[in-house]
Amino acid sequence: MGMLPLPPPEPLALLQAAAEDSVAAGLASLPQDLRSNSRRHVVMLRGRRRVFLLDNGRLRSAFPVAIGMPGWETPTGRFEVLQKIPNPVWVHPVSGERVEEQGANNPLGSHWIAFHRDCRGRDAHDGDAWITIKGCTTTGFHGTPHRWTVGRAVSHGCVRLYNEDVRALYRQVSLGTQVTVLP
C-alpha cells in the first residue's frame, strides 16, 4: 500500500524553516573563539545581515537586520555596548535638527544601543545627496518605523532591527557587553 503525499507546508512554516537554516548557517560560520566565549556577546554577520546574541557560546537570540549602504558601511571589528537609550531622540547628522516627539515615525525606533564612535567625520553619497559630516558619529543598533528596510543595506552605518527585536536585544545587553561585527 502506497503512502499518501504530505500536503505542502504553509507559507509561514516555509519562512520559519528558511530563517532557522539561515541562523544555523550563520552560527556555523562564526570563528571558534566567538562560539566558545564565556560571556554574553553580540555578534553580527554583516554579509548575512544577522545579529546573534550568544551567552557562554550558546545561541540566546537571532535577529535579521539592515546594515549600512555602500559608502556608509557598518564598521567591522570588536566593540562594546557604550550607551543604551529607551525612546531615543534622533538628531539629523548634518542639519542638527532634533526630532523631539517619540512616536511611530522616529527614525531610531523604540530603543538605541550604541557600540561604535568615530570622530573622523564622513564625506559620502547616500544615494540621494552628497553628505558631509564634521565631528563625531555614533553607530548602534536601533529600531525602525520602516520594516521593509530590515534585510537590506540601506542605513548610514547603523544596524536597524524590527522594534520588537531591538526591545528584546536591549533587555538582554548591558553597558560593556561585547559586540563583534564580522564582514
Per-residue confidence (pLDDT) for residue 175, from 0 to 100: 97
Domain range list for the chain = 11-182
The fold adopted by the segment(s) 11-182 is: L,D-transpeptidase catalytic domain-like (2.40.440)
Single pTM value for the model: 0.78
Per-residue confidence (pLDDT) for residue 17, from 0 to 100: 45
Residue 121 to residues 15, 132, 134, 160, Cα–Cα distance (Å): 40, 8, 5, 21
Per-residue confidence (pLDDT) for residue 107, from 0 to 100: 86
pLDDT 10s digit of each residue in the chain, 183 long? 455 555 554 544 444 444 555 555 566 656 666 555 658 999 999 999 999 999 988 899 999 999 998 888 999 999 999 999 999 987 766 667 776 556 777 888 999 999 999 877 767 656 666 667 677 788 999 999 999 999 999 988 899 999 999 999 999 999 999 999 999
Among all chains, which residue has been given the C-alpha cell 537570540? 61
Per-residue confidence (pLDDT) for residue 138, from 0 to 100: 87
Per-residue confidence (pLDDT) for residue 91, from 0 to 100: 73
